[in-house]
Amino acid sequence: MEKQIINQLREKAKSLVEQMDLIEKASMLRYDSPGIPRLGIPAYNWWNEGLHGVARTGTATVFPQAIGMAAMFDPDFLKEIGDVVATEARAKYNENQKHGVVGRYKGLTLWSPNINIFRDPRWGRGQETYGEDPYLTSKLGVAYIQGLQGDNPEFLKTAACAKHYAVHSGPEEGRHEFDSVVGEKDLYETYLPAFEAAVKEGEVASVMGAYNCLNGEVCCGHEWMIQNLLRGQWGFDGYFVSDCGAIYDFHENHKVTKTPQESAAKAVHAGCDINCGDIYLHLVQAVESGLLSEEDLDRSVIQALTSRMQLGLLRDDCPYDQIPFDVVDCKEHQDLAVKAAEKSCVMLKNNGILPLESKKYTSIAVIGPNAMNVNCLNGNYNGTSSEYIDFVDGIRKLADEDTVVRYARGCHHYYPKDANWEEKELQSLSEAIITAKNSDLVVLCLGLDPTFEGEAGDANNPFGAGDRTSLKLPEPQLELVEEIAKLNKPTVVVLSAGSAVDLSFEDANFDAILHAFYPGGRGGLAVANLLFGKACPQGNLPVTVYKDDNDLPHYHDYNMTNRTYRYYTGTPLYPFGYGLSYGKASVKNVEMADVADGSLPIKVTVENNGEWDFEPLVQVYIKGKKSPLAPLNPALCAFSRVPTKAGETAVLDITVDEKAFTVVNEKGERVIDDEEFDIYVGLCGPDARSIELTGQSVFCKTVKLI
């Protein structure tokens, strides 16, 4: 949005604030802001969600969960999805306005995306992120923000929100009093780049503060992080909002203040404009008692009104006011969601059984707690699809008409709290075994769902407040897979989970594994399309799948040592960037010179030497030759999908930008500390495990800064 327009709106907002009394000013900073009729200001509720579709307000297109969309490694497509989400949010808002409906989840301020770094696979909310890599998260976060906000120079389509600022990725249990202790190097190298990109490149309209403290200071009252870094150095000019209840934590849990009035004053003084919660009900008292200046209060009210005007509120002739309600979950959007689900699934193993020949199997057993489970389609922060297609439904739709498709749950996700659970589990397990024995093929639908992993208070798992204490499948599923393995039936595993799962046993004992993440409302159709060859798998892992969690650091430790592919010293089961396909391609030629003018242009020739049209992912990694400040392992610095037709060759121009040739020192300063760099280009990462699994070679060349 053009700066000149924003400045004009800010002046209009200032004139409105000058006409308000203290009570009216304070009311504008509540998330459920009441109207001021005499000034023509209607009531507005700031709280809405759009993580992978318009959430929590009835029917909407449900796209794959964010972690699945990250596996697409496709910023352009993610931007297109963001635009669809914004379109449906506008359609709902327009219709609600016609009927005078104002309330939570009815507005245009979407508190998405979540661009925290998925540093530890045990974090239940990791499913909401774009994975473990700061570069990938930055690119995808910017793309989704741009999609949500649109490209109109005068109006935002919706207002995106980068959350949770900053250094927030668990634990869920204790998040309201937790202090994230992190060094300056990790802070600027890993945890902040996506937020900086969201502001500088995405021009994000909002930033949400986290629950936790950062190095002893509350994030929603962190004056240096909000005023100096975010607004000062990065130039953020949108509204800052607290996570819900975070300001209450100041006095109740973090104990940095003593009263609600002090907490409200601290937050506004630091630059937190909107309070999700009820602590800003105490703002009037805070001003009257001298805890907060009215000047600080005015600053936030002006910002809040400016942000509303950027959306076309309190203005005339907003072009988005004409978006009709019938676009919500329309056929075009449904088809796009299925395509996204197909592109987000990652094939981890295939011994040749896939794609399935539909006429080869007279009977298929679809077994497991996720086989007929809507929750594992949705992910969290979701809307409601007008139609759900689970994995059983999808397979029935695509199997040969003479093929019998049988279903058995086999077990719960975990042992239920029921006096007769043992008997019920044994009955369920025996049914699954019988069903499998009497079928030609087994599709084993395993994993988790958002009732098991997610945000504290939403997930109801019996141990971790939404987090996981182990990377293994829950115990009932371990028993199920062992029994199915004993049958020696052709078996395909479909995994639904928002994070990495230890699949060592499944990898050793079954024919194929497809990681579907949480694939959206019609995800069962997308998975079936992939299984039966109606679509080609081409997703790549945005996270590392470890063999186990024995050598992972303590979950509460925010130091990056031995975390994520950039610093991991072990051998993963499946590495970051890995993914198999029915298509076959190879890098035939790479051209690059030394680094001039800061950036490095690369020309890559990719040959499709298989029988499938598909979009292989070219990945570029960098490693300084000498600097001790560089990440331990080569780090992703560029990527792009290359549409190729079977038997044809495509040429890709890709650029490594100048930031890739810098490192972060222990003071948090980004510096040039090397003259030579190894550049790796291939269709997988340059690590030994990726090369072993894919059979690909990775091109490597040393370049110099000149």
- At what angle are helices 331-344 and 75-98 packed, to 10 degrees? 150
**What SS3 state is found at 650?**
strand
Helices (H), 74-133: 75-98
The 10 Å Cβ neighbour count of residue 22 is 13
Transcribe 634-647 into DSSP letters: -EEEEEEE--B-TT
**What SS3 state is found at 680?**
strand
Contact 493, 446 (CB under 8 A): yes
Annotated active-site residue 692? The verdict is no
Transcribe 259-307 into DSSP letters: SHHHHHHHHHHHT--BBSSSGGGGHHHHHHTTSS-HHHHHHHHHHHHHH
Instruction: Evaluate the omega torsion of the peptide bond into residue 166 and state whether it is cis, within 30 degrees of 0.
Output: yes
Direct distance between the N- and C-terminal alpha carbons of the chain, in angstroms, rounded to an integer = 37
Identify the active-site residue in 243, 342, 390, 425.
Answer: 243
Report phi then psi at 660, rounded to 5: -65, -20
Annotated active-site residue 453? The verdict is yes
- ∠ CA 73-166-70, nearest 5°, is 10
- ∠ CA 487-488-491, nearest 5°, is 105
The residue count of the chain comes to 706
Burial of 503 (0-12, 13-18, 19+ CB in 10 A): buried
Contact 578, 607 (CB under 8 A): no
Identify the active-site residue in 88, 196, 390, 453.
Answer: 453
Task: Tell me the catalytic residues.
Answer: 243, 453
